[in-house]
Amino acid sequence: MVDQSPPETPRNKPARAKPDTKPETSGRARDPERTRALILDAARDEFSDKGLSGGRVNTIAEQAGVNKQLIYYYFKDKERLYGAVLERAYRDIRKRENALDLDALSPEDALRRFVHFNFDYIVENRYFVPLLNDENLHKARHAKGNEKIPALQGTMKRALGRVIRRGLEEGSFRRDADPVELYISIASLCFFFLSNRHTLSVIFDTDLLESDRIAARRAHVTEMILSYLRSPPESPPARENS
């Protein structure tokens, strides 16, 4: 459906063959980079699934197939492991986002691509949204404590800013369009649906992950953003009382 290739490692059991190193004398690992990645993969899945407090270091170790102590050797403690997972997640989505080349498209097409990218990314990388939600439960403590994460956001913000500006200059976007509000709305429309699908399914008694529904939602979200941008700014509205 989309143009991005899968992120680092698939959600379950990394293949990551590391094809042609020495014959693996005994089945031992002895490949620090790989070990680190195995741990990060397992941790990402566990934290995404159970949250920081619900996630178990034990489970992560088992899932990663490494000795539990190695986790502490590499990441010092659970909290910092969580931070590392978060950092890598942000790094991955931003890296892909930065590859979108929005500047080559018309403002409207660029925005459509941007929305699609976000929608598809979180559908294909299920771990991402729960991770963010949980980080918010912790008031973004880990993101704030990490000096690299804020820096990762700049390129995306600037790229989106350029698209909006071009749309405004062209006159194809409503003149009160604001990049921050817009980004938040895009993220809301793309992320919430997935992260809250379980309670939504209680309300509507329907499976939101059925592929037709996903496609419908994708179209709806895109249309909502674009129809907003195409609409003229509100004339001073006949406010109802609330």
* C-alpha separations of 123 from 19, 130, 193, 233 in Å: 30, 12, 10, 32
Question: Segment 62-91, which members bind DNA (CB under 7 A)?
Answer: 66-70, 72-73, 77-79
> How many chain residues are in contact with a copy of itself, going by CB under 8 A?
71
Cβ 238 to a copy of itself shortest distance, Å: 8
Q: Does 241 bind DNA (CB under 7 A)?
A: no
Give the DSSP per-residue string, 225-237: HHHHHHSPPPPS-
In angstroms, what is the minimal distance from the CB of 49 to DNA? 13
Q: CB-based contacts of 99: which residues, under 8 Å, 6+ apart?
A: 4
- Taking CB under 8 A as the criterion, the residue among 171, 175, 234, 235 binding a copy of itself is 234
Q: Which of 31, 169, 178, 210 binds a copy of itself (CB under 8 A)?
A: 178
Residue type (1 letter), 152: L
User: 77 touches which of a copy of itself, DNA, none (CB within 5 to 8 A by kind)?
Assistant: DNA
CB 80 within 8 A of CB 145: no
Contact between 170 and 107 (Cβ < 8 Å): yes
DSSP H/E element including 239:
none
Q: Tell which positions 184-203 bind a copy of itself, by CB under 8 A.
A: 184-185, 187-189, 191-193, 195-203
Question: How many CB atoms sit inside 10 A of residue 219's CB?
Answer: 11
**Residues 24-63 contacting DNA, CB under 7 A:** 25-26, 28-32, 35, 55-58
Q: Smallest distance, Å, CB 110 to a copy of itself?
A: 9
User: How far, in whole angstroms, is CA 76 from its chain's centroid?
Assistant: 25
* Residues at the interface with DNA (CB under 7 A): 22, 25-26, 28-32, 35, 55-58, 66-70, 72-73, 77-79
